[in-house]
Chain A
């Protein structure tokens, strides 16, 4: 069935129901395989520092997928995503110290975060829009306070050590092996979310986002849908936090500040709301952006030493960061995902561009 030329229509129900549209085409398959092979081979050729950055990007992809489920699909705004990362990371620290194998620790940390996520879903049942944003902000502040105070568990403001991921005597160490763990998990999560949006659970979320009253009229339980969205979102956030804890090996409350929440919001805005591609592209973009900026600041300080940009690097990054959020919202509200799709359509229909 596979044809050499691109076709944008489906010939059978099986094709129509496929997870990735376009898999009937030779080139789509080709590029997909090429992407996976490249991702698998990358750590063999890259420097350690870039593997480190890619690991952070993969972790960010998992977190961003979670937030996108909640904000992009279910339409519930949240400023508390950093809290769920924190809960996941601290659960990991506690569980790993107790000697639980890491393949169990990661989902368990996610589950603990999901339980807390259900807690915050309770105010969400009554609030929306701006009030929900404020409630999640309050939740964030309270969790941050609790983490700083519960010193017996979290080490307080000083932070705590996270043991290396280990299982039955085997210890996962080094950036390369961690890369395969994080990228594998990120892929699994992406496939899960892509699948979810085709099921009734995902469609119910989108219905609630578009109009909660109409959704309820159609027989969708808003309570259950919002609860699911919050639980899944915080589950993903918890897993991302767990990986982050394992990877950084030392965590303190400053790793999970309000700016982390804002960073995740920025990821899904820049990437594209309600889109798996968008979550991935946004997370990678926002993780690579500081690195690229750091390099350009370094170069700039060589060229123009008088400006003294090097010492103010963090603030320059922050300014670009804020600008990126504002400019994307004003001029490209559908994010990179839309840009990417337009690009694909342009090349597919070339030379018959319209």
Chain B
């Protein structure tokens, strides 16, 4: 029982990171119709920017978060401006491959700048344990969960209340109508990529608190794929729930299956869920059913 609660809590903390990352590409997918395969690498780049500001440039820990977030916003806008804007109207397969190429580029740029050694940023949250339901839980998990929840709530408010957020939803709803009512589609596209960079940076920073920083982090960022598909690729609420489920499933698999399989079940379980959901309900739990015979 104790193990179960502990695994669930760590899983949900990790899952909130996936949910936040997942919001990033649901955002891009809804607004621009591009499925961003370089999202894992964006997450990793965000985490390394954080490391750079905090350790290499010596900013105070909490100041390096906005610095990393701002840099990733710039990276996102740059990617849209330089690469994706030319590709509007190209077939899906071309754009998917372009983002795969972007992923390879980003990953190797990060490796080129920061090297292969695992890095150790200063923890944002104080170490120690909290007692929840008579289970000792590391503080860092609880704080990560809280911080991520605050960021997610911020995004939800942003989409429902701010003029920019409403403009983005309008473009996602109907591109031509949005353009006719005076919304600049190009700016919305750029903004979507910028915000995806922001979510990637935040989820990267949160994951660093939980699992540390090295070049294998892009694989963790990829776990946001199963989260997005499970929740429904065009549903922000869905991706949050999907992220939490995937995080919990990974953590439970790590706790209960790994002793029998000798490790590795954690990395695979998300993809098993992904394959099942694609076979049974491709539009996810909360996505718009897209009935199309293939």
Contact = CB atoms under 8 A, between A and B. Distances in A.
A130 interface: yes
Contacts of B275: 123, 135, 138-139, 142
Nearest to A329: B98
Interface residues of A, number: 46
Nearest to A328: B101
A129 B225 contact: no
Interface string B105-126: 1111101100100000000000
B261 A149 contact: yes
Interface string A298-323: 00000000000000101111110111
B265 to A, nearest CB: 8
B239 to A, nearest CB: 14
Interface stretch (B87-95, B128-136, B164-172, B202-210): B87-95
A90 to B, nearest CB: 17
Interface string A189-215: 000000000000000000000001100
A148 B264 contact: yes
Interface stretch (B49-57, B141-149, B185-193, B266-274): B266-274
Given A131-B278, A262-B104, A325-B104, A77 B264 contact: no
A322 B83 contact: no
Contacts of B90: 333
A71 B109 CA distance: 28
B93 A319 contact: no
Contacts of A123: 275, 278-279
Nearest to B276: A138
B294 interface: yes
B221 interface: no
Contacts of B97: 77, 265, 269, 325, 329
A135 B96 CA distance: 14
Nearest to A156: B262
Of the candidates A125, A212, A265, A330, the one having the most CB atoms from chain B within 10 angstroms of its own CB is: A330
B70 interface: no
Interface in A66-102: 71, 75, 77
Contact of A149 (B96, B262, B279, B293): B262
Contacts of B93: 71, 75, 77, 129
A262 B106 CA distance: 14
Interface of A: 71, 75, 77, 123, 125-131, 133-135, 137-139, 141-142, 145, 148-149, 212-213, 222, 259, 262, 265-266, 269, 312, 314-319, 321-326, 329-330, 333
8 contacts: A75-B93, A77-B93, A134-B225, A134-B278, A145-B268, A312-B111, A314-B108, A322-B103
